[in-house]
Chains A and B, each alone.
Chain A
């Protein structure tokens, strides 16, 4: 689709200065517009228009990431230039630290549980809501509300509700389910499940909305034809809807995985502040902040950032290579968009 407009809409800026106009310019003096259309004028425009964005982006996104790799080789408290070069010792320490290994384990547990808990639940909800019903738009909005609320608000609210003498336990008591009352937050064995509950509550709305958009892109004719051929509702879902939802499901899973690997806010707010110990829920990002900035070891914190980045990148690339490859649309990293330009 883009290829069609491609050649038509673009302004030609030749590699060499103004070679297009060469012959024409002598015959008919080029209009001011035409002269600016090629050569240095256009380059100046490009520089002026892209320049600010490029400077901000390079200076505040790319440069810090590169510097993280550099600082990671130093033992550095964050003041003055780093001088104490220690090679890969930060990395060795990180990888050998049981606390970090535990954090990685938590991250991958969250990745898997998010996919298992949110995916099917959100898909069923989307199927359920994808029909002619009153108030569908208001239902969609309300399901989405937790997603829009700040993590801090979510964390504060749930922390207060989940305290041992909080509203959740009290409610269970009132319903005669007092035996279910738990120390939801500070019991390290239970904490990760509590976290998963909160994560599901906060983020499932996004999956539902995404899946609903995908479902509504499936032509009704397909379902009708299958129904006429005698397929049951569940057969239609299994053999028509699910395959056609593939791209949407795969993109959602990708975002969910990356989000789970980089989870920080909720854990840091709930377990950092209200429980004062992230035992049972620590993630790579909370480890990075508590061992890096909070402990004053900036070299070490940068090295953790690099490890976190590499793990995310490897997961993302593997996922792209083996899962997303099937989809024509939907490269999050923009590989396919780049392809558009090369076409």
Chain B
């Protein structure tokens, strides 16, 4: 663990820190602390619960008693959404965009980071600075010209028109997280590989890839969650309903069925389930990755 430079270390040790936080030296929590914690969690979760539970009500229930519980519980809204093809098509589109973005970011980011971490050549510092400077160009600022570039590439209304820019805009964070990881791989391993007749690219393929998996997972999760929730770019690029990703779909659905609140709530809560599952599975990595990315 100590061999990792700052950034990598900050990405990794959520486990280690989690353990430390339960060390006997810290003050034990009083009931008041628990009370405050429960209150805060309530505030965070009640709106989400409202969306999910609201989907089990009928519109007349919602109109008569906006903040009440379902009475009786009805599942017709959820069934309607789940049996229609709109929701599944958008899930598929979001999945394709998310996976392709993640894959592209990892492949391009790893290759570039490998060079930046382990080759010495004139202009390397400048190259790194160029990628790092990308953090100063968020998508919001570049969206109008980006739209024009994507249009002139003929990628309007195609998922590729969302995937490629997302890869490009995720590269800076990826490279900043991965370079320290790749640097920390000891020289001895590379020498040993060389003695065994392994070329530098062979070393990259056989040693660097497996060893950099923790960093790659972090980077991949950040890219996937970002892509899954992304709104502005699809809004500009995808005008055709058939190509909509889930965020656009939620918005389109809620304007189309603006009088059918219950169905909108059902659609909205179904659309966040994949993200919630993904988050609960990779929670430590996501939290660690975000704090690590920020601190690095």
Contact = CB atoms under 8 A, between A and B. Distances in A.
Contacts of A242: none
Nearest to B33: A128
Nearest to B3: A5
Interface string A146-162: 10111111001110110
A265 interface: yes
Nearest to B111: A49
A68 B142 contact: yes
B78 interface: no
Interface in B160-186: 164-165, 167-169, 171-172, 175-176, 180, 183-186
A54 B112 contact: yes
Interface residues of A, number: 121
Given A57-B131, A216-B17, A156 B34 contact: no
A201 B47 contact: yes
A80 to B, nearest CB: 11
B61 to A, nearest CB: 12
Which secondary structure dominates where chain A touches chain B?
helix
A132 B168 contact: no
B271 interface: yes
Interface string A304-340: 1100110011001000000000000110111101100
A140 interface: yes
A298 B136 CA distance: 22
Interface stretch (A7-15, A89-97, A183-191): A7-15
A43 B115 CA distance: 10
B264 interface: yes
Interface stretch (B80-88, B210-218, B228-236): B228-236
B118 A45 contact: no
Contact of B27 (A131, A134, A292): A131
Contacts of A134: 29
Given A269-B251, A313-B136, A61 B168 contact: yes
A220 B23 contact: yes
Interface string B43-68: 11101101100100000000101110
A292 B10 CA distance: 41
Contacts of A224: 25
Nearest to A7: B120
Contacts of A128: 33, 36-37
Interface stretch (A22-30, A110-118, A203-211): A203-211
Contact of A60 (B18, B149, B184, B201): B149
B141 A65 contact: yes
A88 interface: no
B143 A174 contact: no
A157 B50 contact: yes
Given A36-B200, A156-B264, A157-B50, A129 B145 contact: no
Interface of B: 5-6, 10, 14, 17-18, 20-29, 33-34, 36-37, 40-41, 43-45, 47-48, 50-51, 54, 63, 65-67, 104, 108-109, 111-112, 114-122, 124-125, 127-138, 140-149, 164-165, 167-169, 171-172, 175-176, 180, 183-187, 190, 194, 197, 199-201, 225, 228-229, 231-232, 236, 246-248, 250-251, 254-255, 261, 264-265, 268, 271-272, 275-276, 279-280, 283, 286-287, 290-291, 294-296
Given A148-B286, A333-B135, 20 more contacts: A1-B6, A2-B180, A11-B120, A37-B200, A50-B127, A60-B168, A61-B171, A67-B148, A133-B34, A140-B287, A143-B41, A145-B279, A149-B48, A150-B228, A150-B272, A156-B250, A201-B44, A305-B143, A334-B135, A341-B125
Interface of A: 1-2, 5-6, 8-13, 15, 33, 36-37, 42-43, 45-46, 48-50, 52-54, 56-57, 59-65, 67-68, 71, 78, 125, 128-134, 136-137, 139-146, 148-153, 156-158, 160-161, 165-171, 174, 201, 205-206, 209-210, 212-213, 216-217, 220, 224, 247-248, 251-252, 255, 258, 262, 264-265, 269, 273, 285, 288-289, 292-293, 298, 301-302, 304-305, 308-309, 312-313, 316, 329-330, 332-335, 337-338, 341-342
21 contacts: A1-B5, A5-B183, A10-B119, A15-B122, A36-B200, A42-B200, A57-B130, A60-B165, A71-B145, A129-B37, A144-B287, A148-B275, A150-B246, A150-B250, A157-B50, A158-B47, A167-B66, A171-B67, A285-B140, A309-B137, A316-B136
